[in-house]
Amino acid sequence: MRKLIYLLLLPLAVAVTACGGKKGSSDNQSLLARIDSIDAHGLQRMQTSKSETNFKFKGKDYHSFVSRTPDESLPHVTNEMGDTYVDNKIVLHLTRGNETVLNKTFTKNDFSSVVDAKFLSKSILEGIVYDKTTPQGIVYAASVCYPQTDLYMPLSITITADGKMSIQKVDMLEEDLNDEAPN
């Protein structure tokens, strides 16, 4: 009889253990975060973002405005899991006083001279941010990435005082990788 009671209580104990653990509210928060980035058609988007920075270059005051928005008119990117992503466009408006130095809308294709076409076809334009000034010009860091992964192509955009622009792929050195590794 005692064995029969244990056999009947065992499935109940398993059910209680399996259903315990996570509370429903934390799952709902995760689900809500996903809903914000996926529309009714299953398209996933990065959030819009804006960044403004003031700095000096060669003794003059500059103002940088960078705005990222998902752009439905760009080709969508589908990963190996079948998830579809909306690519981004990024507007970079650089001014010196009331004078516009550069006003450009970037897409990932602006980096086709330095990024392999196969990588570009599966990636999105992730971001552009002001980095630093050098004797050569004003430097912005940019990245093209596979959506929702750590796989990205680091890029550098240098803008001269007269608005000329050059783009380079950034080679990550081993010491750079060690700096990024958690301690």
Tell whether 157 is covered by a domain. Answer: yes
Burial track 3-12 (b if 16+ CB lie within 10 A, e otherwise): eeeeeeeeee
Rg of the chain's alpha carbons, rounded to an integer? Answer: 24
**Phi (first) and psi of residue 14, to 5 degrees:** -65, -45
Query: What pLDDT is stored for residue 90 in this prediction?
Result: 98
* Domain enclosing residue 160, as ranges: 42-167
Query: What pLDDT is stored for residue 42 in this prediction?
Result: 76
Tell whether 7 is covered by a domain. Answer: no
Beta-ladder partners of 130 = 140
pLDDT string in tens for the chain (183-residue length): 444 333 344 444 333 334 444 333 333 332 333 333 666 667 899 999 999 999 999 999 999 999 999 999 999 999 888 999 999 999 999 999 999 999 999 999 999 999 999 999 999 999 999 999 999 999 999 999 999 899 999 999 999 999 999 999 998 654 454 455 454
Tell whether 59 is covered by a domain. Answer: yes
What's the whole-model pTM score? 0.73
Burial track 118-137 (b if 16+ CB lie within 10 A, e otherwise): ebbeebbbbbbebeebeeeb
Tell whether 32 is covered by a domain. Answer: no
The residue type at 99: E
Tell whether 75 is covered by a domain. Answer: yes
Query: What pLDDT is stored for residue 173 in this prediction?
Result: 56
**pLDDT tens-place string over residues 137-173:** 999 999 999 998 999 999 999 999 999 999 999 986 5
Tell whether 163 is covered by a domain. Answer: yes
The CATH code of the domain that includes 82 is 2.40.128.510
Candidates 109, 176, 169; CA nearest to 142 is: 169
- Cα–Cα distance, 132 to 176 (Å, whole number): 17
Tell whether 37 is covered by a domain. Answer: no
Query: What pLDDT is stored for residue 162 in this prediction?
Result: 95
Query: What pLDDT is stored for residue 39 in this prediction?
Result: 63
Tally of domains within the chain: 1
Tell whether 50 is covered by a domain. Answer: yes
Query: Beta strand pairing status for 84-85 and 43-44?
Result: parallel
- Cα–Cα distance, 68 to 49 (Å, whole number): 5
